[in-house]
Amino acid sequence: MRLENKVALITGASSGIGRESALLFAKEGAKVVVVDVNDTAGSETVAMIKAAGGDAIYVHADVSKAADCEKMVAAAEQTYGKLNVMFNNAGILHSDDDNAMTTEEAVWDLTMNVNLKGVFLGCKYGIPALQRAGGGSIINTASFVALLGAATPQIAYTASKGGVLAMTRELAMVHARQNIRINALCPGPLRTELLMKFLNTEEKRQRRLVHIPLGRFGEAKEMAQAALYLASDESSYMTGAEFLVDGGITAAYVTPV
């Protein structure tokens, strides 16, 4: 098993990429700390893991709050004795996120607090735990829009994910000699509740879909497979990378400098 004897903490693990990754990581031998603000769905993820023979606990934590992030990391170490994999996956895409002129300041602030500050706080408390464990892997969920502007305006989300990518690169350089690898998973457009609620008309969906060379939205399970690679020792020579799993969308539109 690819994560045998490892302990993984996954934020936003009540649905989408987070849930699929929690299930897959557990199947591959990891003990999983499931973190979310949705207690019912988060507990369901734990129950699914246990029903399949895995080991997991649920921790309620709002990643935009320092005390909650400190608590979730402490719970991992107190329960399982260490932390090897930190998957800062929690994120939001607000339905009122639009262009710079129409997006309200409150929407901007909320998005930044969860998507960007949440990753910072996860690293702030997760990195010392990985140091105590002798090293490990941090995965930060960014997005293809960190490299490529979105055809359907989502200014706060795009800016937050650009920040995640930049922060990932810097942290990777700072901690490279400590046996801590830090990479950014950059999903393309996915058929998840998060995106489908935002692309809430057929016109919006087609506007996004037409740009994807593979001609379809990705699935959360496909992102979980990518996260598993970054979490495992198979990616031992990767750090500071933008791991694009995007159906080819950036290859079609980003010109190398």
Backbone angles phi, psi at 243, to 5 degrees: -90, 95
Q: Which residues pair with 243 in a beta bridge?
A: 185
Catalytic residue among 80, 157, 229, 253: 157
> In what helix (H) or strand (E) does residue 106 lie, and over which residues does it extend?
helix 105-112
- Supply the Cα-derived Rg of the chain in whole angstroms: 17
- Contact assessment for residue 137 and residue 172, using Cβ atoms and an 8 Å cutoff: no
Alpha-helix residue ranges (DSSP H) falling in 28-104: 39-51, 66-80
**CA 228 from centroid of its chain's CA atoms:** 12
- Integer Cα distance of 122 and 66 in angstroms: 9
**CA 148 from centroid of its chain's CA atoms:** 18
253 in active site: no
- Contact assessment for residue 60 and residue 66, using Cβ atoms and an 8 Å cutoff: no
- Contact assessment for residue 88 and residue 138, using Cβ atoms and an 8 Å cutoff: yes
Count of alpha carbons within 13 Å of 85, Cβ hemisphere only?
Answer: 32
Catalytic residues: 157
